[in-house]
Amino acid sequence: MYDFFSKERSAAYLKIDARQCIEEKGGNLDYYGLSSLRIDEPVAEQLEIMEGLLPCPELPFHMPMMELPGGHVADLHFFGDGGSVWLLFLDATPERDHQQRLQQKAYEMTLLQERERQLNAKLQSTNEALRESQEGLSREYRRAESLLLNILPASIAERLKADEQIADSHAEVSVLFADIVGFTERARSVGATTTLAILNYFFRAADLLSEQHGCEKIKTIGDCVMAVAGLPVARSDHAHALAHYALELRESARRERFAGEPLSLRIGIHSGPIVAGVIGKRRFVYDLWGDTVNLAARIQKAAEPDEIRISDATHELLGPDFACDPLGETELRGTGRVRMWRLRG
Amino acid sequence: MLQKKICMLGGFAVGKTSLVRRFVQSIFSENYLTTVGVKIDKKSVAFPDKTVDLILWDLAGEDDIGSFRVSYVRGATGLVLVVDGTRPATLAVALTLRERCEAEFGAMPFVLLFNKSDLTDRWAIPEGEIDELKQRGWQIYLTSALSGEHVDDAFRQLASMVAK
């Protein structure tokens, strides 16, 4: 039995006395790099693993797989024998190496799995952040777009986004101007809040109706609204569309009362060629230019309260579809004598 | 001769062996070779009034704490608790191992090392958590066995604690 352990497991032993000095030694101590241990000297000073272990309150005591100075691995067994302790070394190098190979694979696999989980979690949170910022970006974009659409016709806004220069000639459009009769005096008497309510109501009505009739409200100047039909997409019934627009705008002004009084409008329409374009780089303005625009403005100024006054050119386009009264020729500033009509309905 | 047994404790692959190698031999290897059983190293730490020989027990790391052999710790006078700063779960492992040792052998001095501080882009322990632990009066070091950062500081600190 001892031969078996001695040969197969390189058995070696130490006997340590009550003073913790080596009392006896034997077996294959050389195998563990321990052949120089001296009898009768303190064990802990010669064999570091013994530091703090003695006196050992619980014997026998087993400490597996300890790598020793010679590089070999031993299972250590401590036995009590009266006041002495036997320390038996049995070789465990092959077992340790075998177990290490298995353990190594298992831990490497576990580490890889942990790393994969971490990377996946990171990927997921990165994706999440990316998605959120994309959503934020497209929200911003939609907001910018809707702001742009508020001040420009949709097709013009599209072309502007494509960085196009916009200046288009339109041979046939109708242009309308409308303002509130006696607005300045009225504003003075009703105060700021009511004045703002009046303008808000009037401009909102102008906006809503231009959507309904396929017209474009181009801009407001003080209490004056400028609208156009036949833009940016040409249409042959531009005069009809704007005539309907004018009639309904006048009607909605009459319907609402402010400080007890309804709104009364002065409206003028003229038809002809114009140039439309966007000016400005940071703050875009879509506007119309040309004699047609100027004449429409003059006709509007000449109109009576509650009157929709149209030029001869517009009247001709409307034909027999609308009831109109002739007004005869009138002298307009900067234009000479102009034939005009009153649109009734 | 002032000789003190110190045990390296922590989960597997947190860097216990690498820290010992860095401290004792001033070398580092990228290759991971898991420790099975225990390996012992020795290093003297000199102070103006004395020299302490640290006997470092590099214990096998744990995957499953239940299999930890607390008997290896018998006779130890101090602990080096090692956490992998890129794997938050290894903090709980280190703290549990300390509790098991204290339950068996009573309280003893220790230092807590958050290792792999060179892996900044993978670092996963919030600063606040470390500050909280420091407020318990614990000796805590952010170490890198790769660069050697704070490794000597941590072992010297423990040496001075166990030499008292």
Chain B residue with the nearest C-alpha to that of A110: B63
Look at B122 and A110 and tell me if their CB atoms are within 8 Å. no
Structure pTM? Answer: 0.63
- Residue spans of alpha helices (H) in chain A: 2-8, 43-46, 93-151, 154-161, 183-190, 192-213, 238-255, 291-302, 312-318
Q: Is 90 exceeded by the pLDDT of residue B62?
A: no
In this model, does residue A89 exceed pLDDT 80? yes
Residue A85 domain flag: yes
Q: What is the pLDDT of residues B122-164, one digit of tens each?
A: 999 999 999 999 999 999 999 999 999 999 999 999 999 999 8
Residues A77 and A172 in one domain: no
Percent of chain B having pLDDT more than 70? 98
CA distance to partner chain A, nearest, from residue B74 (Å): 6
| Total domains in the fold of chain A | 2
CATH number at residue A67: 3.30.450.20
pLDDT of residue A165: 72
Q: Please report residues of B whose CB lies closer than 8 A to that of A111.
A: 13, 32
CB-based burial of residue A117 (10 Å sphere; 0-12 exposed, 13-18 middle, 19+ buried)?
A: exposed
Quickly count: other Cβ atoms within 10 Å of residue B26's Cβ: 10
Residue B76, domain CATH: 3.40.50.300
Give the ipTM: 0.84
Shared domain for A200 and A309, answered yes or no, is: yes
- C-alpha of B22 from chain center: 12
Cβ of A73 and B122 within 8 Å?
no
Number of domains observed in the structure of chain B: 1
Domain span at residue B134 reads: 2-162
The domain boundary, picked from A91, A107, A133, lies at: A91
Say which residues have a Cβ less than 8 Å from residue B57's Cβ, sequence separation at least 6: B5, B6, B7, B8, B38, B40, B72, B73, B76
Residue range A175-228, pLDDT digits in tens: 999 999 988 888 888 888 888 999 999 999 999 999 999 999 988 888 999 999
C-alpha span between B141 and B155 (Å, rounded): 10
| Residue A288, domain extent | 166-343
B40 chain-A contacts, CB cut-off 8 A: 48-49, 66-67
Phi, psi of A74 (to 5 degrees): -125, 145
* pLDDT score for B64: 66
Residue A4 has pLDDT above 80, yes or no: no
- A222 domain residue, yes or no: yes
- Single out the residue in A91, A106, A129 at which a domain terminates: A91
Kindly report the nearest CA distance between residue B128 and chain A, in angstroms. 21
For residue A112, being part of any structural domain is answered with: no
Q: Measured at the alpha carbon of residue B61, what is the angle toward residues B59 and B66, in degrees to the nearest 5?
A: 105
Q: What does the pLDDT average to over A139-161? A: 77
In a domain, A153, yes or no: no
Q: Do A48 and B42 touch (CB under 8 A)?
A: yes
Predicted confidence (pLDDT) per residue in A71-83, tens digit:
899 999 999 988 8
Alpha helices, DSSP H, located in A214-290: 238-255
Strands, E, within B96-162: which ranges? 110-115, 140-142
| Mean pLDDT, residues A33-60 taken together | 89
- Across the interface, which of A65, A106, A107 has its CB nearest the CB of B38? A65
Averaged pLDDT, A239-268: 91
Structural domain includes residue A147: no
Is 80 exceeded by the pLDDT of residue A155? Answer: no
Q: For position A209, what pLDDT does the model report?
A: 94
Residue A149 resides in a domain: no
Contact B36 A44 (CB under 8 A): no
Contact A118 B72 (CB under 8 A): no
Among candidate residues A76, A91, A106, the one where a domain is terminated = A91
pLDDT of residue B65: 62
CATH number of the domain to which A260 belongs = 3.30.70.1230
Mean pLDDT of B31-45: 91
* Closest residue in chain B to residue A104, using alpha carbons only: B34
CB B19 within 8 A of CB B82: yes
Mean pLDDT of chain B: 93
Q: Is the pLDDT of residue A287 over 80?
A: yes
pLDDT at B23 over 90: yes
pLDDT of residue A296: 92
Tell me whether A64 touches chain B (CB under 8 Å).
yes
Facing residue for B36 by CB, picked from A45, A99, A111: A99
Count chain A–chain B contacts defined by CB atoms under 8 A. Answer: 71
Asked whether the beta carbons of residue A51 and residue B71 sit closer than 8 angstroms, the reply is: no
More confident residue, A283 or A166: A166
Which pLDDT value is given to residue B66? 65
Q: Which of A47-61, A174-188, A306-320, B97-111 has the lowest mean pLDDT?
A: A47-61
Residue A283: pLDDT band with limits 50, 70, 90: low
At A171 the pLDDT is 84
Residues of B in contact with A96 (CB under 8 A): 36-37
Orientation of helix A154-161 relative to helix A93-151, angle to 10°: 130
Q: How far is A62 from chain B (nearest CA, A)?
A: 8
Q: Given CB atoms, is A116 within the 8 Å cutoff of chain B?
A: no
CB contact under 8 A, A73 and B37: yes
pLDDT of residue A342: 93
Q: What is the mean pLDDT of chain A?
A: 88
Contacts of B119 in chain A (CB under 8 A): none
